[in-house]
Amino acid sequence: MPLFALADVNNFYASCEKVFDPKLRGKPVVVLSNNDGCVVARSPEAKALGIGMAVPWHELKDGLPGVIALSSNYTLYADMSNRVMRILGDMVPAQEIYSIDETFLDLTGIKRPDELGHAMKARVAQWIGLPICVGMGSTKTRAKISNHVAKKQPQYGGVFDLETLTPPQEDALLTSIDVGEVWGVGSRIAKRLRGMAIETVKDLRDADPKVMQDQFSVVLERTVKELKGTSCLELEEVYPPKQQIMCSHSFGRDISEFQDLREALSTYTARACEKLRAQQHMAGAVYTFIHTNPFKKGPQLSRGITLPLGDQTDDTLTISKYVQNALRALYFPGYRYKKAGVMLMELRPKEMRQTALFDDPARLKKRDELNKALDTLNLEYGLGTVSFGVTKGRKNWKMRQLNKTPRYTTRWSDLMRVH
């Protein structure tokens, strides 16, 4: 029987910050989204104060003295993520990196999975100082439920295996968990399910897959089968690791100006996003690069950077913002650039979009419609007929990252200081 594990880092962004700054330990810490807009991560202490996810920070800050709000430091989080993934990947035969702080692991054939789970937790804690939870199950969907249990029920010490329960124990446990916690069941589907008296994970597990397919989709049918213990999703199936969309070009002539690079990248981003939407996918990260002409004399530069997108998205405007931010980090004046490009990565089918979104659905829908209109126009009248303007206000962007912590692990100038 196959055995999957889902390991993820608790309060990932806030936990990363606490590793390098002991003054934050034991204090309520929140991490804000890009532009310091709203809360995207909370330390346990902040959760205990009742601070919700996705709450706009300006609504909170006056009422809650003592809460430390940090700007998001994605450079640090990406480096810490790579470390976690590497440590866990080295402990198992196969791994799928699902998001910046979650990874599926193949534990099939391992004799004492619970021991391995605790060993993983101990190793990540010692080697990089981050707390993780590990959930195990015969399918990915069951592993995800186990992870939820490991996180919410402290008596298991952060490691839980659904397959160790007797059938009555499993029934009791799954009855206690809301159907909305199931992987792939978003709030909209959950609402409809409740209308059909399917309210708990157990209800959904015991539902008829065929009925679910008729009423909803093959995706939900598969989810039900997975809950019953039939593995339908292989390690890479949901998230093929090699899948990516690239858009890059060499320039007609070498360019040196920031503004020119910005416009070029803006165009490439729009193209890549069109391709992304055409194949009904969303991206989780974007890689941006610029380089000079290695065949010409003169100073050479080749730089690239990957930024995780806050949420899975296919929105040109959102992704453009990340790309432009990346360019600001990459760009040095005084070089003659020959080529630039963007690559969208961590692609997943749109229907699998995670439900924990920080955007309000009405706005997202509007964006979807805007993008759709854009794609239609460009399809009919030729690529590039309509495009988004390059956003101005470079200064604003910087100003809105007021409380960013040092890039402890990627900049010599930002190293942790020890006395």
Catalytic annotation, residues: 102
Q: Provide the b/e sequence for 79-117 (b: ≥16 CB within 10 Å).
A: bbbeebbebbeebbeebbbbbbbbbbbbbeebeebbebb
Of 356, 263, 378, 290, give the one whose Cα is nearest residue 8: 356
- DSSP of 109-173: T-S-HHHHHHHHHHHHHHHH---EEEEEESSHHHHHHHHHHHHH-GGGTTEEEGGGS-HHHHHHH
Query: Of the two residues 83 and 404, which places its CB atom closer to other proteins in the complex?
Result: 83
Q: Is 412 in the site for other proteins (CB under 8 A)?
A: yes
Q: Is 37 exposed, middle or buried (0-12, 13-18, 19+ CB in 10 A)?
A: middle
Q: Is 10 in the site for other proteins (CB under 8 A)?
A: no
Q: Is 83 in the site for other proteins (CB under 8 A)?
A: yes
Residues 205 to 234 in contact with other proteins, rule: CB under 8 A: none
Amino acid at 122: A
Q: Is 415 helix (H, G, I), strand (E, B) or coil?
A: coil
Query: Of the two residues 339 and 367, which places its CB atom closer to other proteins in the complex?
Result: 339
Q: From the list 46, 69, 92, 107, which residue makes contact with other proteins (rule: CB under 8 A)?
A: 92
Query: Of the two residues 201 and 305, which places its CB atom closer to other proteins in the complex?
Result: 305
Q: Is 345 in the site for other proteins (CB under 8 A)?
A: yes
Alpha helices in 158-245, H assignment, sequence order? 167-175, 187-195, 201-205, 209-215, 218-228
Residues 317 to 336 in contact with other proteins, rule: CB under 8 A: none
Q: From the list 79, 254, 263, 368, which residue makes contact with other proteins (rule: CB under 8 A)?
A: 79
State the minimum distance, in angstroms, from the CB of residue 50 to other proteins: 25
Query: Of the two residues 103 and 223, which places its CB atom closer to other proteins in the complex?
Result: 103
Compute the radius of gyration of the chain from its Cα atoms: 23
Q: From the list 119, 304, 367, 375, which residue makes contact with other proteins (rule: CB under 8 A)?
A: 304
Q: From the list 95, 269, 316, 405, which residue makes contact with other proteins (rule: CB under 8 A)?
A: 95
Query: Of the two residues 25 and 372, which places its CB atom closer to other proteins in the complex?
Result: 25
- DSSP of 31-89: EEPGGG-BEEEE-HHHHHTTPPTT-BHHHHTTT-TT-EEEE--HHHHHHHHHHHHHHHH
Containing 258, the helix (H) or strand (E) segment is helix 258-278
Binding mask 379-408 for other proteins (x = CB under 8 A): -----------------------------x
CA quadruple 403, 282, 317, 285: dihedral sign: positive
Q: Is 417 in the site for other proteins (CB under 8 A)?
A: yes
Q: Is 26 in the site for other proteins (CB under 8 A)?
A: yes
Q: Is 64 in the site for other proteins (CB under 8 A)?
A: no
The region of 74-82, 156-164, 261-269, 369-377 touching other proteins under the rule CB under 8 A is 74-82
Q: From the list 52, 129, 361, 384, which residue makes contact with other proteins (rule: CB under 8 A)?
A: 129
Q: Is 241 in the site for other proteins (CB under 8 A)?
A: yes
Q: Is 78 in the site for other proteins (CB under 8 A)?
A: yes
Residue 261 CA, chain-centre distance (Å), reads 27
Question: Any bridge partners for residue 31, and if so which?
Answer: 41, 70
Q: Is 294 in the site for other proteins (CB under 8 A)?
A: no
Residues that bind other proteins (CB under 8 A): 22-23, 25-26, 75, 78-79, 82-87, 89-90, 92-95, 97, 123, 126-129, 236, 241-244, 285, 287, 289, 291, 302-306, 343, 345-346, 408-412, 415-419
